[in-house]
Amino acid sequence: MKVCLKEKVMYNKPNIILITADQLRADTVGYINKKIKTPVLDSLADEGYIFTNSFCTSPVCTPSRAAIFTGRYPMNTGAWNIGTCLDENETTLADILKVYNYYNVAVGKMHLRPQLKDFNNNFEDVDFRDRNRIKDNTYYGFDKTFITEDDKQGKYLDYIKTKGYDLAIGKGENGINSLPEDMNQTYWIGKKSCEEIINHDFKSPLFMWTSFVDPHHPFDPIEKFASLYENTIIDKPISKNFLCKGRPEHLQKQGKNGYWPGGGEQHNFSDEKIEEFTKYYYAMISFIDQEIGKILKALEEKKQLDNTIIIFTSDHGEYMGDYGLLQKGPFMYDNLIKVPLLIWGKGVSKGISDTIVENIDIVPTILELIGSNIPYGIQGESLNTLIKNISSARKKSSAVITYDARDRGIMIKTYRDKRYKLNLFLNESYGELYDLKNDPLEKENLFFNENFKELKSDLLLKFCYRMMECSDPLSERTANW
């Protein structure tokens, strides 16, 4: 995406702290679900703006993260699934903020490029994975990076080796993490974020993307946080019997032909084990909440908290045993595609909205909050009127979510409005239609129900219009002919 960047503009802009978790469901933050202990996020929610119908644009990491960072749909950024790269010619939020003299820092998981170098699961060399772009010698517009990914490689792994911990490369195993708290990846991400705040002179505003790897699997909290949930009563997951009721055949047999390279298969764990995993998952979220509190204290110490905007979200959700599934994969249930979105800080009113929003809306929202124009090519719609309590109709009333993996034999496009969800599959005669008002657990597929034929036709037309909107508006027309 090419944006016209003319000269640096020197204004007293607010700091921007974008905080993302990985694989965090919309219903696993304390201000939504009281079972989860997130006092810091709860306090931000008490003063900030909560979106209860926020959706990712893809249910896997790389395309969703690229969408958050560019404000553009995954099919247009080069990052259409994991194992792909965000196109280095895309203009990112960091690139745009440079025009306004922001100092840009990335801490934690980026996953804008593959973590593996091939299909044999060999880990990519860190120097190549985290390389700077040729065009400007930056990592997608960041002035400084502290990157660590799921496999723990990068500056975090280098750091704990200096402390005498020779941690194996890879994701690890489920269970209580034996590392000391201050050697944990979540702690390190919080620590580096705080250090960058403390060390910044704030002669220029700060943009920092703090991106926690957790609560992504494996479910491996430290005992301090796991103990918080020892006596928590965990709701039973949605029955796996619902998965195959009216489901397309190849999704019922999804694991057989390698539609997903790990994760998303129906699990064989007992209800007791799923309950344990859920408690561990909650514990990992509470650890993240603690580190967010430290970031707020660092901003306060630098007398910058009142001049800061904080955005909290996730790249996608997690099945956590629902429908007999774990982790993520090509099933467009709300527990996977719905994510938290909380905005707090300078210029943001207190409020809550059930308006349908997409993660591509984050970039234009930030830009309007700092007084910037929204460059041509950004496809998200600013939430500024909502968070400033300005009465104004939004153009969008639905979300589009895509799972593109034609090389794995599956391609899904999803239309989601406040009441209905429509899932279409490439070159297949079947699909899925759910009435979420009467069937919030998505148990009954209405796609072939003759009583809903007219509704299906209406939604198909709306979906066609939305897919036309998703097409890439670039490059910009510069002449009549």
Does the structure show a pLDDT above 90 at 395? Answer: no
- Judge whether residue 305 has pLDDT over 60: yes
Q: Number of C-alpha atoms within 13 angstroms, CB side, residue 149? A: 21
Q: Helix H segments across 331-425?
A: 334-337, 362-369, 384-387
At 259 the pLDDT is 44
Q: How many CB atoms are located within 10 Å of the residue 431 CB?
A: 17
DSSP string, 297-323: HHHHHTT-GGGEEEEEEES----TTGG
CA distance 189 to 311: 17
Q: What is the mean pLDDT of residues 146-155?
A: 93
Burial class of residue 468 in the structure, from the number of CB atoms within 10 Å of its CB (0-12 exposed, 13-18 middle, 19+ buried): exposed
Task: Tell me, rounded to whole angstroms, the distance of Cα 378 from its chain centroid.
Answer: 18
Between residues 172 and 310, the one the model is more confident about: 310
What is the radius of gyration, based on Cα positions, of the chain?
22
Beta bridge partners of 433: 422
What is the rounded end-to-end Cα distance, in angstroms, of the chain?
A: 21
Q: What is the pLDDT of residues 264-273, one digit of tens each?
A: 556 778 889 9
Q: Is the pLDDT of residue 240 over 80?
A: no
pLDDT tens column, 64-77: 999 999 999 999 99
For the record, the structure tokens of 229 come out as: 């949930």
Q: Report the alpha-carbon distance of residue 259 to residue 470 in Å, rounded.
A: 25
Please write the tens of the pLDDT for every residue from 164-204: 998 888 888 899 999 999 999 999 999 999 999 999 999 99
| Residue 100: pLDDT over 70 | yes
245 pLDDT band (50/70/90 cuts)? low
What is the average pLDDT across 1-22? 72
Q: Is residue 338's pLDDT more than 80?
A: yes
* pLDDT reported for residue 254: 53
- Note if the bond before 218 is cis, omega within 30 degrees: yes
Q: Is 269 exposed, middle or buried (0-12, 13-18, 19+ CB in 10 A)?
A: middle
Residue 128 confidence (pLDDT): 92
- CB neighbours of 43 closer than 8 A, spacing ≥ 6? none
| Mean pLDDT for the stretch of residues 380-389 | 92
Min mean pLDDT across 88-92, 288-292, 441-445 is at 441-445
pLDDT tens, residue by residue, 424-465: 988 888 899 999 999 999 989 999 999 999 999 999 999 999
For residues 25 and 282, give the distance between their C-alpha atoms in angstroms, rounded to a whole number.
10
Over the chain, what is the mean pLDDT? 91
CA distance to 89, 104, 139, per residue, from 135 (Å) = 8, 17, 10
Q: Is the pLDDT score of 250 beyond 60? A: no
Residue at 465: amino acid letter = Y
Quote the tokens at residue 308.
């800061």
Is residue 239 predicted with pLDDT exceeding 80? no
Angle (CA) 142-143-146 rounded to 5° is: 75
What's the pLDDT at 255? 46
161: β partners: none
- pLDDT tens for each residue of 23-67: 999 999 999 999 999 999 999 999 999 999 999 999 999 999 999
The CA distance from 83 to 74, in Å, is 13
Residues with Cβ within 8 Å of 111's Cβ and at least 6 positions away in sequence, in order, are 61, 62, 65, 82, 149, 150
Query: Would you place residue 12 in the very low, low, confident or very high pLDDT band (cuts 50, 70, 90)?
Result: confident
What does the pLDDT read at residue 440? Answer: 94
Instruction: Report the distance separating Cα 229 and Cα 93, nearest Å.
Output: 38
pTM exceeds 0.85 = yes
Task: Report the alpha-carbon distance of residue 109 to residue 119 in Å, rounded.
Answer: 21
